[in-house]
Amino acid sequence: MAHFGDMQNAIYNAGLNGILPDFPVDFATLRERAQSALSPSLLNYVQGGCGDEHTQDRNAQAFRNWGMVPRMLVDCSERDLSIELFGLRLPSPIFMAPIGLNGEMTQDRRGDIAAAQAAAETGVPFCASTLSNSPLEQVRAAAGETPSFFQLYTPKNRDLAQSLISRAEQSGYRALVITLDTWLTGWRPRDLNTASFPQLRGKVLENYFSDPVFWSLLDAPPEDDLMGAVRMWTSVFGQVLTWEDIAWFREATSMPIVLKGICHGDDARKASDLGVDAIYCSNHGGRQANGGIAAIDMLPDVVAGAGSTPVLFDSGIRSGTDVVKAIALGATAVGIGRPYTYGLAIGGARGAAHVLSSILAEADLLMAVNGYPDLDAVRAAGAHYRADIA
């Protein structure tokens, strides 16, 4: 049986012939490489977060407070990292979190397509953002056999919302991820100090510019009046949602519904009572609200509140070890964010695929040495909190 961890042998064996890996296998080196690949304004936007970035930093650091205890004399020669989600059997518990700037990460500005190609290559689902340089139909097609999810920023115009949802459903997306925490933008000093916000320069708005309902709101096509189209985007972008709106989404689609941005146990309970298909615990990578608790530290309460509803998690995942810890704390699936987008920046689809494969290899090898043959064993073992180990 092939394992994700076989990547390790492949790297060492290639080294015997003097061949080094094209891309780094750890986050620190990856981030450094991405820093030199991106323009200062893109780097600010992607790397930066809200306020003094305390929440963003804690998201990653807080994993150090959680530890796992190895078990011996368990046969882990075969490992199974597969999960079931939305009625799909997926080879691993990770997916690519929606990143609205993927399109700008590659020189050809087709980074969304490159992310979808990385999904096709690795079997790791891509959650495509509403913000994209390529229309969602083309992004879906590039993912091939690997299932894709569509993330919705709900526009104020309900016809436009319905149009985006219907397009996603018709082109074969397998879940609708509704982002709750970004109906406006948090206070982001790096972008503010440089007065730079890519969307206002007409970037990553192709899903709107390819939409018939959006077109019907415009006086002139986007190619004739880009700034007019951007102004329209600004005015329709962020609908304030409340619990009463969830029923509308149920009517709008037969795709499974996921609520992204849930961090409180009571909100998870409410979402679960409303019958959503999954709860997505995330603080948007610390880009929206500063002064919060690290997302991983909120996961146990969300899992408790969610009951039998699956919980997706992201914010601060930097390695395979972090993935296994999030599973141990009750996540069903784990979103990779900045690491894969840095992979796109340094190597397009191949770079992103390498990052995902490295994360999976580390997770697989960790499970092997810790005596956890599958994710049920990981969950049964749990992760333990120690305030003093960070």
Ligand X SMILES: O=C(O)C(=O)c1ccccc1
Ligand Y SMILES: Cc1cc2nc3c(=O)[nH]c(=O)nc-3n(C[C@H](O)[C@H](O)[C@H](O)COP(=O)(O)O)c2cc1C
Say how many Å lie between the first and final Cα of the chain, rounded. Answer: 36
Binding to ligand X (CB under 6 A): which residues in 287-316? 287
Residue 226's closest CA among 200, 194, 244?
A: 200
Phi, psi of 188 (to 5 degrees): -120, 95
Residues making up the annotated binding site are: 45, 98-100, 129, 151, 153, 179, 188, 260, 282, 284, 287, 314-318, 337-338
By CB under 6 A, name the one of 25, 83, 94, 99 that touches ligand Y: 99
By CB under 6 A, name the one of 35, 47, 162, 185 that touches ligand X: 185
Residue type, 83: I
Q: From the CB of 337, what's the least distance to ligand Y, in Å?
A: 2
Residue among 3, 54, 264, 284 flagged as catalytic: 284
Residue 343 interface partner, choices ligand X, ligand Y, none, CB cut-off 5-8 Å depending on type: none
Question: Is 284 an active-site residue?
Answer: yes
Q: Where are the beta strands (DSSP E) in 250-383?
A: 257-260, 278-281, 311-313, 333-336
Nearer to ligand Y, 162 or 199 (CB): 199
Residue 152's closest CA among 170, 140, 166, 171?
A: 166
By CB under 6 A, name the one of 203, 284, 325, 354 that touches ligand Y: 284
Nearer to ligand X, 157 or 185 (CB): 185
Nearer to ligand Y, 59 or 163 (CB): 59
Q: How many residues in the chain?
A: 390
Nearer to ligand X, 157 or 182 (CB): 182
Residue 111 interface partner, choices ligand X, ligand Y, none, CB cut-off 5-8 Å depending on type: none
Nearer to ligand X, 200 or 368 (CB): 200
Residues making up the annotated binding site for FMN are: 98-100, 129, 151, 179, 282, 314-318, 337-338
By CB under 6 A, name the one of 182, 196, 210, 239 that touches ligand X: 182
Q: Tell the residue number behind the tokens 């697989």, with chain if given.
A: 364
The answer for residues whose C-beta is within 8 angstroms of residue 229's C-beta and 6 or more apart is 202, 205, 208, 209, 218, 221, 222
Q: Tell the residue number behind the tokens 């078990």, with chain if given.
A: 71
In angstroms, rounded to a whole number, what is the distance separating the alpha carbons of residues 116 and 111?
9
106: left (phi over 0), alpha (psi -120 to 50) or beta: beta
Do 313 and 279 contact (CB within 8 A), yes or no? no
Residue 147 interface partner, choices ligand Y, ligand X, none, CB cut-off 5-8 Å depending on type: none
By the rule CB under 6 A, 131 interacts with ligand X: yes
Residue 98's closest CA among 148, 25, 29, 158?
A: 148
By CB under 6 A, name the one of 100, 310, 343, 351 that touches ligand Y: 100
Q: Which residues are catalytic?
A: 284
Report the interface residues with ligand Y, using CB under 6 A.
Answer: 45-46, 59, 97-101, 129, 131, 151, 179, 260, 282, 284-285, 287, 314-317, 337-338
Report the interface residues with ligand X, using CB under 6 A.
Answer: 100, 131, 182, 185, 199, 284, 287
